[in-house]
């Protein structure tokens, strides 16, 4: 089986071609605001090197967030269009779960992406990729409450945080997460969308106003 793996959601862009459980081509580069301008240069390049064509792909895996809204959308739009065109399965993966493929000696991993004002995106996984807290957008203080009973844990992310918990930079094991999901049913390609985990300000304000109206 030939898979395309696409991750444009956060700090690094990762593209891989996997054939029969082996990564035959892998490309990684620091993400930038110019992602959309260059992404096809990377994709065309990796296919050239791999000696297979995009039409040969049997399944596409795409990381659909959380992360940079634009970054996620670029990857998801490409993956959706490929899956729709080639009529192949599409499987969405979590950015945070992908971080949690990092090899560490601790049992629990807390992948995170820092946001503003003490808020962050985080989840709790163990080193077998079992989920113990679904990916959320939450305040650091809430996260600390969630993990107060977990002794053996490490945080996985690229940023510094104001915490005593050890932070390890992600080292992605793409095959590990693909092996977990490769036999899953495909998502409906039309319904695939980014998993932002965060409402935009205009929508939150609107909801707040509506709540106030309803309460009055």
Q: Closer CB to other proteins, residue 155 or residue 192?
A: 192
Q: Closer CB to other proteins, residue 41 or residue 149?
A: 41
Q: In terms of Cα–Cα distance, which of 114, 108, 105 is closest to 157?
A: 114
Distance CA 162, CA 141 (A): 11
CB of 66 to other proteins, least distance (A): 14
Helix (H) / strand (E) containing 24: strand 22-30
Residues that bind other proteins (CB under 8 A): 36-41, 43-44, 54-55, 69-70, 73-74, 76-78, 80-82, 84-86, 189-191, 193-194, 196, 200, 202-203, 206
Half-sphere exposure of 74 (CA within 13 A, CB side): 23
Q: Closer CB to other proteins, residue 28 or residue 85?
A: 85
CB of 174 to other proteins, least distance (A): 21
Counting other chains too, the contacts that 79-87 makes at CB distance below 8 Å and 24 or more residues apart are 79/4, 79/6, 79/192, 80/189, 80/192, 82/4, 82/54, 82/57, 83/186, 83/189, 83/192, 84/189, 84/190, 86/54, 86/55, 86/57
DSSP code, position 162 = S
Q: Closer CB to other proteins, residue 170 or residue 194?
A: 194
Q: Closer CB to other proteins, residue 44 or residue 152?
A: 44
Give the Å distances, CA to CA, from 87 to 22, 78, 84, 90, 155. 23, 14, 5, 9, 38
CB of 58 to other proteins, least distance (A): 15
- What is the token pair recorded at 53? 């064509």
Q: Closer CB to other proteins, residue 40 or residue 165?
A: 40
Distance CA 68, CA 131 (A): 22
CB of 75 to other proteins, least distance (A): 9
Helix (H) / strand (E) containing 43: helix 35-50
CB of 202 to other proteins, least distance (A): 5
CB of 138 to other proteins, least distance (A): 20
């Amino acid at each position: 089986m030939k898979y395309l793996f696409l991750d444009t959601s956060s700090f690094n862009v990762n593209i891989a071609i996997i054939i029969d459980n082996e990564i035959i081509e892998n490309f990684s580069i620091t993400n930038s605001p110019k992602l959309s301008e260059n992404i096809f240069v990377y994709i065309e390049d990796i296919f050239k090197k791999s000696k297979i064509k995009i039409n040969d792909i049997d399944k596409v895996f795409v990381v659909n967030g959380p992360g940079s809204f634009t970054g996620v959308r670029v990857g998801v739009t490409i993956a959706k269009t490929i899956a729709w065109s080639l009529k192949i399965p599409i499987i969405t993966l979590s950015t945070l779960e992908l971080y949690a493929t990092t090899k560490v000696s601790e049992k629990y991993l807390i992948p995170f992406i820092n946001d503003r004002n003490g808020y962050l995106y985080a989840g709790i996984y163990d080193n077998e990729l079992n989920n113990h807290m679904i990916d959320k957008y939450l305040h650091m203080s809430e996260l600390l409450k969630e993990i107060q009973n977990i002794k053996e844990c490490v945080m996985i992310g690229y940023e510094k945080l104001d915490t005593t918990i050890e932070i390890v930079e992600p080292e992605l094991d793409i095959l590990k997460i693909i092996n977990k999901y490769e036999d899953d049913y495909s998502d409906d390609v039309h319904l695939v969308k980014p998993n932002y985990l965060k409402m935009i300000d205009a929508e939150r304000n609107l909801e707040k106003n509506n709540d106030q109206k309803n309460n009055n």
